[in-house]
Each structure stands twice: as C-alpha cells, then as structure tokens.
C-alpha cells in the first residue's frame, strides 16, 4: 500500500470501529476521563450509574430489605461516597480458618498456576470444591451490602489467589498480577470484596487503593495508563488517601474497582499473600449467597462476557 493510502485506510478503520461501538472510540474515552474521573470507560460509567440508581429507586419504593442499624447505614453511605472501606472483625476467625483450609487444599488439587508467582482457584469451582467460602457472607456483611446496594445483590464472580515474591527483573518486563495502578473496566454499579486469608503486613504485598475523590484528581491530572514510567505515579503513591490492605486474616476491603485506582503489591522475599476476591452487583431477585450468578448488566457493558 502506498503512503497516500495509509491515512485513508486508517480513516476507514476508525469509521468502522466508531459505527460498530461508538462509546469506546474518540472522543468518548477522553470525555469519560474528564467527566467521571476514572479509567473504566464511558459506557461502564453511564450504564453503571443507571443500574445503581434504578435498584436504589426500586428499593426506596418499598422493596423489602433487611433491617439495618444506624451504624450500618452510615458505613454504607460512606462506602457509596468514597468507594473504599476496610473492615476488621466482621468474619469469625473460625470461618476464616475453615475457608483457608479448603482453599489451600483446592489450590493443590484443581488450582491453576499461570506463573511461578501465583496460584489461583477460580470462582466457578467454589460451589463444588469449596462451598465453605460462601460462609464469608454472614448476616452482618449481607445487611451492610444490601444497605449499600439499596436491596438484594448477587455474587457474579470470585477467585482465590496466593501471590509470591516476583524478582525485580521480571517485574520490569511484565505486569505479573495487576501490580500497576488501574481501575477495572466494568460497570460502576459493581462492588468488589477482597478478604485476607492470612495475616498481611506491609512486606506481604498488600493491595493499595485510592478513594473516588483522589482517583478523580489523578485521572483528571492526566493519569490514563498502567505505564510504570508515568510521572504521575509518584503523586499517586504519595496521596494521603492511599490505603494499604494490611491486617489479620479476615480483614475485608470493600472497593468500587471501576471508580477507585488500585493495584496489587509485590510480596518481599519469603513472603506471600492469600486472599479472596468477589464481584457483586445489585439485583431484583432475593439475595442468594449459595453460588455465583450472571449479572444482566454485563450483557450491555461487556457483550463478550458470558457471566
């Protein structure tokens, strides 16, 4: 192809892409970063906002909900506002111990190891091999989540991860496990829960996160990639709102991963981290915590996602 044909080819390619999926093409990504202040994309923010508001409206119009205390309501409202909360003591140690034992056993039998640095048990194996995991969602946590969502919710996906030290020379070449600052590309009605299954200190590679406000500031200042050389990373790391998920086994992080910048940490030599993650969505049916469920909104925000 001649040089004169390249601009025309690129223009045709852009036109085809824009017509097939306009919200992911310029100028919508730029508009989304300025308007919403995160990296999730215009569709994920727009549809996620509508999804959240519809469920809260239905709840306000009389859908039955679990009774909540003033404390739980205040905590749920704060999570909506900041997108981030860390709680301790909400899961009995006996439950954590039982779940950890079953997960480590499952990891040796059916787990996958994408690299030498991480073991994974996927959520689709939970109900058969580790049904104890759903005991994490006790009445206190369920009441809190129903208050946050404004009604029932579902568990859409989950995973267990055991992460180990990654040598610096390997980290410099590749992102081994989401250890660079990012927001997830999912509807903003989604909420993630991370649960520690072992004691995690600063040298164990804890998850770090910024709240919604600090994320907006970083993104509107120009941060828009997972590039380790981005000059804004130093400001993100030094932001006073930045938190690390350290604490004893059973510590929980509730985080809106589509609105809050976050990253995994890298354990130091001879250290590791064991943790669970779940992704939750509001729903119209009664909350069922015995298995994973498809989230209907993903048909519209993530057409290729089968869950």
Over residues 196-237, the pLDDT tens digits come to 999 999 999 999 999 999 999 999 999 988 877 788 999 999
Residue 178: predicted pLDDT:
87
Separation between Cα atoms, residue 159 and residue 157, nearest integer Å: 7
Whether the predicted pLDDT of 303 surpasses 70:
no
**295 close to 154: Cβ distance less than 8 angstroms:** yes
Over residues 144-179, the pLDDT tens digits come to 999 999 999 999 999 999 999 999 999 888 888 888
From residue 267, give the alpha-carbon distance in Å to each of 119, 170, 191, 203, 213. 14, 14, 25, 6, 28
Residue 19: predicted pLDDT:
47
Percent of the chain exceeding pLDDT 70 equals 90
Picking from 45-54, 96-105, 116-125, 166-175, which range would have the lowest pLDDT averaged per residue? 166-175
Over residues 65-79, the pLDDT tens digits come to 556 789 999 999 999
Residue 66: predicted pLDDT:
57
Handedness of CA 90, 257, 165, 266 (dihedral sign): negative
Over residues 11-38, the pLDDT tens digits come to 555 445 444 567 877 789 999 999 999 9
Q: Return the CATH class of domain 37-301.
A: mainly beta
Mean pLDDT of 120-146: 96
Model pTM above 0.85: yes
Residue 239: predicted pLDDT:
96
Residue 168 has, within 13 A of its CA and on its CB side, a CA count of 0
* Residue, of 145 and 185, whose pLDDT is higher: 145
- Average pLDDT over the chain, rounded to an integer: 90
Domain boundaries in the chain? Answer: 37-301
Percent of the chain exceeding pLDDT 90 equals 79
User: Is the N-terminal amide bond of 76 cis, ω within 30° of 0?
Assistant: no
| Cβ within 8 Å of residue 191, ≥6 positions away | 145, 148, 149, 153, 254, 255, 256, 279, 280, 281
Whether the predicted pLDDT of 261 surpasses 70:
yes
| Short-list 172, 186, 162, CA closest to 40 | 186
**45 close to 300: Cβ distance less than 8 angstroms:** no
């Amino acid at each position: 192809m001649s040089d004169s044909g390249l601009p025309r080819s690129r223009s045709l390619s852009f036109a085809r892409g824009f017509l097939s999926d306009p919200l992911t093409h310029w100028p919508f990504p730029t508009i989304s970063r300025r308007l919403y202040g995160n990296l999730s994309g215009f569709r994920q923010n727009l549809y996620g906002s509508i999804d959240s508001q519809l469920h809260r409206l239905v709840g306000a119009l009389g859908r039955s909900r679990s009774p909540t205390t003033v404390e739980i309501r205040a905590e749920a409202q704060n999570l909506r506002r900041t997108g981030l909360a860390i709680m301790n003591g909400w899961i009995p140690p006996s439950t954590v111990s039982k779940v950890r034992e079953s997960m480590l056993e499952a990891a040796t039998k059916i787990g996958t190891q994408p690299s030498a640095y991480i073991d994974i048990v996927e959520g689709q194996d939970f109900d058969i091999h580790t049904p104890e995991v759903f005991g994490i969602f006790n009445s206190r946590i369920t009441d809190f989540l129903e208050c946050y969502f404004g009604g029932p919710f579902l568990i859409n996906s989950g995973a267990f991860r055991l992460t180990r030290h990654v040598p610096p020379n390997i980290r410099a070449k590749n992102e081994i496990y989401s250890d660079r600052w990012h927001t997830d590309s999912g509807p903003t009605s989604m909420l993630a829960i991370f649960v520690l299954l072992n004691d995690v200190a600063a040298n164990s590679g804890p998850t770090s996160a910024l709240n919604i406000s600090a994320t907006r500031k970083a993104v509107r200042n120009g941060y828009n990639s997972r590039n380790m050389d981005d000059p804004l990373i130093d400001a993100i790391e030094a932001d006073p709102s930045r938190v690390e998920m350290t604490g004893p086994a059973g510590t929980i992080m509730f985080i809106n991963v589509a609105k809050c910048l976050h990253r995994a940490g890298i354990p130091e030599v001879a250290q590791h981290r064991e943790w669970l993650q779940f992704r939750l969505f509001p729903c119209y049916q009664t909350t069922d915590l015995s298995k994973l469920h498809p989230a209907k909104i993903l048909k519209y925000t993530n057409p290729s996602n089968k869950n």
